[in-house]
Every structure is written in structure tokens, then in C-alpha cells.
Structure 1
Amino acid sequence: MSLSDLKHSLRKYEFPVCAQEALVRIEQLLAGRTAPTNKQLVVAMEIISEFIFCESDRRGDRGRGAGLSSLQELQLIDILCEYLSSCNNETTKNTIFLSLFGGMESQRRLKVLSILASMAVSASSTPVLLAVGVWLQQTGCSSPQSLQLAENLIRDHFYLNTKNQKELRMLANTAPQFISNFITAVTELYVHDLSTKKMPPKNLLEVITSWVYSNPSLCMSAQLKPASLPSGSIPMAAATPLAGLIRWCSLAPLCLPSNVEDVEMMEISIPMKKIKLECEIDRSIVTTVQQKQLSEAELYIKLHLGVLHSLRSGKRTQGPPTAVNAQHLAALAPIVQTYAHDVLTRGLKLSNDEKLQECLNRLGQAVQVSLANGCVYGNVNNLLASLDTLPENRLLRIVIRTHQQNI
């Protein structure tokens, strides 16, 4: 069948059948043993635009299509879920997924992707989530599209104290590459400076802490298992969330309020039995159990410990370090200096500021474990020089001096 005949045959079907048929045809064009020709790539993109996202008309004019209605979006998401879940070849699945959503600037497609990813999280759909994880890596976890997708997932699943925390925590075991790239994107959204003090929602912090603390190798997952990509594609380097999490934990003492007693208690009521059988011992007693929840400050302590364990597990026996960018750690110095300057303007001593010293202690611990385990890449000299400009802290000073002597 010629390429023109291929389009003509698809035009015989109405949506959503045409979308189902189009996926089969796209797989035939792109997922062969050899890399597709330029003409095959062009035709595949035209088919995707016209028959899957309804963005172009039958002449192929982009922007002339009516686009997807809300009902059609749901129909398409159902079709994509079924297709991705039934695809047994990882390379084929990622080839089709990246063809659908890779390098996109269309908000319509990003909306479909966001709903698809959100439904995959709800359903714990491993095949779909792994494909989204590859998309995050290839697009760049800090790209505007990836950050928008992360924000949408946070809005759908992490803002409220939802009842699905157990299911969310299990995703680290079933789709670790997705979770690692998702956390990397999420760290770009929060705890960047002291002016806004934009902190992650507590429910999100709880789940991320659980993920990292319970699985030390999670943050390295995207690097430990390279993505299966189509022939001829350029794999993007997988970034870990470790530098971002170090920033969160180090700056948390400076951002969290110190005058709030944030020890939370949760009451769990055990309901009274409605029916009592004859001769049954009366156990219909209403009790209230006080179950302590970790405060945000305590969660950051636990997350910090999880990050240190992750850094230890991230030690490489071969090849250069890939876990933590020295430049990202050095970027913390100006933020801490700004806080220290504010302390001094209030006529206080830096050595007496507990929040500042806690920040410096955590930063010193993270830097020491990172360097000792060979996790830092980039300009280490510049990192140590930046840290040397920070206020006096005994631990940090020992770390700086030790590693300056070793270079």
C-alpha cells in the first residue's frame, strides 16, 4: 500500500476507530527493524496530526482541524492506555509514545498527556507510567512541558490528604524510572529561594519522603536502566533528583516557620457494632487512638537521611560520577548568604542562629557523603570555593578543608 493510499484508507473510519487504526499504521511505519526514512517520518506525523489528534484537515493543513472534543479526548486516552498496555516491546512502545508527544509545543497534546499520565497514576498502570518516564527524560525534566505535567499530577493526586497514599507509594516499586524522573521535575518547582518560600504540599512531601527513604537506589533508577529508544534517536542524559532534594532539605530550616507547633495528631474512631448476637461478649466500645503524624520539619529530617542513604548507594565503581552536579550544589551558597545577611542586619550572631546552623550542617553532611562516594561531577573546586564563603560552621569547614587537600 502506498503512503497516499494509507491515508485514504484511514479516512474511511470515523473517530475513534480511525485513531485505533492509525496507531497500527504508525507502528508499521516507525517500528521496523531499520530506521524509518524521512518520508515515512513525515507521513507518520501527518497521520498523528489528522487521525489521532484531529489537528489538521484532509488536505494536511495544520490548524484547520476541529481538534478533539472532551468526549473524544477521553476516547483517545482509553485507546492509548489499551495500546500501550498491550505493547510487549519497550522500544516499540517508546517509539510510538515519543512520536505522539515528543518535542511538542501543542497545549492540546499536553492536556491529553496530562490526563493520560494522571489516569495511569490512579490505575497504577506500569506500561503507561514507564513510557511517561521516558518522555520526561527525553523532553528534559526541567523543561516547561515536563514542569507543567508535574504540576498537573501534583494537582490531581498530591494537594489533599488523599486516601490513595498506599497506592502512590507502591509506584516506586512498579515504575521506578518514572518516579525518579517525576521527582527530578518536582524538585524544580519548590524551595528555590527565601523570598517566596514556595514549599511542596505536605502530602507530596510525605509520599516523596516515603519513596526515597524506603528505596535508596530509586533516585538512580533512570540512570541504572537506560531507556529503550528507537533506532537513530539521541538518548538524553538522565538527571537524578538528588541535587534538588539536597536543596530542599538544606533550605527547609530557613523556610519553615519556627513559631508554629506543628505536631499533628490524627483521631481514628473505631465504630460501634450495630448488631449484637445473643450471649456475645459486649465489645461495642468506642475508642479513640492517637496516631502521631510527622510534622513537616520531621519529614525533612527523614528525607535528608534518605538522601544520604541514596548518595551512598549512588557510588560508582566504573566511569565518571553522574549523580550530583557540583554547580547545582554551589548555587545554594548565594541563597544561604542572603539569609545570613538578614540575620546580621537584625543585629544577631550567625553562630547563635539555630536555623542557619541546621541548614549548614545538612549541607555539610550532603556534600561530604556526595564527595566521599564519588557522586559529584563538574567543577568541584568551584563548589568548595562557593561553600567556603558561607558563615562559619564547624562541620562544613572540616568538609571543605578535607576535600581541598585531596584535590
Structure 2
Amino acid sequence: MSLSDLKHQLRKYDFPICAKEALIRIEQLLVGRAAPSNKQLDIAMDVIAEFVFCEVDRRGNRRSAGITPLQELQLIDVICEYLSTCGNDTTKNTIFLSLFGGIESQRRLKVLSILASMAVSASSTSVLLAVGVWLQQMGCSSALSLQLVENIIRDHFYLNTSNQNTLKSLAITAPQFVSNFITAVTELYMHDLQGTKKLPPRNLLEVITSWVFSNPTLCMSAQLNPAALPSGSIPMAAVTPLAGLVHWCALAPLYIDEDQEMVEMIVPVKRIKLENERDHPTFKTNAFNKVLTEAELYTKLHLAVLHSLRAGRRTHGPPTAVNAQHLTGLTPHVQACAHQLLKRGIKLQNDRRLQDCLDRIGQAVQVALANGCVYGNISNLLAALDTLPENRLLRIIIKTHQQII
């Protein structure tokens, strides 16, 4: 069928039915045994622009006004329905990447942001897994990915704590999405060397800590479950969030006051059984609210990251969990903080917060290297760490591994 015939058929339908029909035709064009031809790709892009996002008119001219807010919601409903009923992951990812893979306008990004945010609220596995693949293919640190993630954080992780159970369950229902989401999130915070301490929102920190603490292999999910991509596409390597989380945990003692920002956590109370008392089948454990500071949350996250680094060991093939260069990126931040301490006349060996930071770096590097999950130039990593202020644990670790290499 020619492009003109296809467009003629689709023009018989009003929006959003035309978008629904367009997705079916796009699937017929792009999904098959062989990779689609350039002509098929061009036809699919033309159909998407005119009948899905209504970006051009029937003559191919760019529309000045996009779809209305009501039409946005109708389109999102159409896309959700298509993804939820599509039983083949390759087909689903093919269509999703065709819709959003070559985003050139903020209009499509806006639709994608609303779609992703609604999927988080509804725990829509099919949509979230497609979003996770999109993050990976775009690059979790790309400007588009960071914009999308910032929108999700704004919708779900500021002030709103009533949906934490829903958010925490995503680690089970959509682990690949969660892994790529955390990787992108770690790019947003604690990376400024200009003295600005941009810290993750309290609710976001708590949920990420819960995610990583509950499942040591979560951070590897995107690597352990390769994306089902369309034929002929180039898969982008999945980057784990481990290096970014090491950054967070190591820098936390320097950036966080120990009594800052209290976070409520539910901790079960142990009940003492009385003598001769029988177990009652309907007995329910009581609980009380224990208040954790942000500093304590980062300590818990640090422990979870160490467990994850142990789980990142590969029995076959080269290591893929942590890039040595990403760990090396920690050193300028620590050196900048040490320089500020020296300017204030503080001895670096006596500053507990700096030493806690260096201890955490040493612990993370030791566990990562001992479990063989670091790739890249390890010699450069050790040389960079050797420029950090004096710390007994870190010096032992550097010396030990320099002798091994």
C-alpha cells in the first residue's frame, strides 16, 4: 500500500480513532522477520507525525498549534491500551521507540512525561518496561532522559508520601525501569562543584533506599534482562546506577547534617511472650514510628550498595557493573571539600565527616574490586584515589590493589 493510500484510509477517522488505527498500520510496517526498509521507516514517521501527534496537516505543513490537553489524554489512553494488549515485547518496544525515539519537540516529550507519570501511578508494567527501554536507548544521562525523570520526580517524589507503597512495589513489577530510572536520578544530584548542594528530595531518597535495600540484584536488572529491540537496531549498553549511588553515599557525610530532615520509618516492635502464653492466630504485631535522619538513610543506602556490589560479580565474561572512570569522578568533589576545610584551618585527619566520606569510598572500592565488578582503567582509578586526603583504610586498599595489578 502506498503512503497516499494509507493516509487516505486513516483520514476517514476522527481523532483519537485515527491514532489507534495508525498504531496498527505502523506495526504492520515495522514489525516482521527482517528489518524495515528506509521507505517503510519514512512512511511510519509520516503517519506518526500526522495521525498520532497531529504535528503536520494533510499537506505536510507543520501545525502551529499542537493537540489540546483533552486530545493528549485521549492519545495517552490509546497508547496505554495498545501497549497493554501487545503480547510481544519486541513489537511493543519497536512501536514505542518509533513514537518517542526521535523526539525533536517538547510536545512529544510532554506526552511521554504524562504517560510515564500515569504509568507510575497505576503500576502499569507494560508501559514502564517500555519507558525503561527508552531511557536505556536514549542514554540515562542524556538531556531528554533527565527531563523525563525530573518530571516523574516532580509528580511523585515531592511532598507526596501517601503513594510510597505503590512506588516501592515498582522494584518488583518493573525492575528494569527502576534500575534505569535510578541511574538517571543519580545524574541529577550531588554533581555540582560550584558549592551548590543539590540533594535528592527526602521521599525520593527513602524510596530508592527501600528499592536497593530490598533487592541486591535490582541495580543489575537492565543488564540481566536485555531489551527486546527491533531487528536491525543498535542496542545501547545498560549502565547500572551503582557508581552514582556510591557518589551519593560517599558525599552524604560532607553534605548532610546528622539531624537534618527527619524521615519516618515503620519498625516492627518485638513482643515478649509471657510464660505459658499460647500463640494466638489472630495476633497482629504492633508497630511504632522510628524517626530516621537523612544521614541514617544514607548509611542504610550505603550498606545496600555494598550488598549490590557483591551481587554484581559476574561468573562469565568481563565485568559490567561499575565503570572505573565513574568512580574516579568522585575525587574532584572530595578534594574541593578538603580544600574548604584547609582554608578554615581544620586538620583533615581530624575531621570526622571527611573521614567518614573516605571510609565509604574505601569500602565501596574494596568490595567492587574484590568481587571483580569494575571495568575500565583500574590503575587510573587507584592513582586518582591516591590523591585524596590521608585515610588509613583507603591507603591500605590502594596499596593492596596496586600490588595486584
- TM-score of the pair, normalised by structure 2: 0.92
Two-structure CA RMSD over aligned residues (Å): 1.6
**1:92 aligned to 2:94?**
no
Q: Structure 2: which 5+ runs fail to align?
A: 267-285
**1:46 aligned to 2:42?**
no
SS of equivalent residue, structure 2 residue 216: coil
Cα shift at 1:213:
0.5
Amino acid at match of 1:399: I
Amino acid at match of 2:314: R
- In structure 1, distance between residues paired with 2:178 and 2:35: 30
Cα shift at 1:331:
1.3
Cα shift at 1:265:
6.2
Tell me the residue number matched to 1:182: 181
Cα shift at 1:191:
1.0
Alignment of structure 1 residues 101-250 onto 2, 5 Å:
101-193=100-192, 195-250=195-250
Cα shift at 1:67:
1.8
Alignment of structure 1 residues 8-407 onto 2, 5 Å:
8-61=8-61, 63-64=62-63, 66-193=65-192, 195-258=195-258, 260=259, 263=262, 291-407=289-405
Cα shift at 1:64:
2.9
**Contact conserved, 1:50 with 1:65, CA < 8 A, in 2?**
no
Cα shift at 1:12:
1.1
- In structure 2, distance between residues paired with 1:48 and 1:245: 38
- In structure 1, distance between residues paired with 2:39 and 2:346: 69
Superposed CA deviations along residues 215-253 of structure 1, whole A, max 9, x for unmatched, are 000000000010000000000000000000000000011
- In structure 1, distance between residues paired with 2:86 and 2:199: 39
Q: More displaced, 1-10 or 73-82?
A: 1-10
Q: How high is the sequence identity, in percent, across the aligned residues?
A: 75
SS of equivalent residue, structure 1 residue 291: strand
SS of equivalent residue, structure 1 residue 145: helix
**Contact conserved, 2:257 with 2:295, CA < 8 A, in 1?**
no
- In structure 2, distance between residues paired with 1:117 and 1:255: 31
Superposed CA deviations along residues 337-396 of structure 1, whole A, max 9, x for unmatched, are 111111111111111101000000000000000111111111110100000011111110
- In structure 2, distance between residues paired with 1:148 and 1:263: 28
**Contact conserved, 2:100 with 2:109, CA < 8 A, in 1?**
yes
**Contact conserved, 2:116 with 2:131, CA < 8 A, in 1?**
yes
- In structure 2, distance between residues paired with 1:92 and 1:289: 47
Amino acid at match of 2:209: T
Cα shift at 1:65:
6.0
- In structure 1, distance between residues paired with 2:51 and 2:85: 21
Q: More displaced, 156-165 or 358-367?
A: 156-165
Superposed CA deviations along residues 154-196 of structure 1, whole A, max 9, x for unmatched, are 0000011421101110100110000000000000000113511
Quickly say closer, same or farther: Cα 1:289–1:124, change in 2 above 3 A.
closer
- In structure 2, distance between residues paired with 1:320 and 1:104: 34
Amino acid at match of 1:235: P
Runs of 4+ in 1 over 3 A off after TM superposition: 260-267
Cα shift at 1:291:
1.2
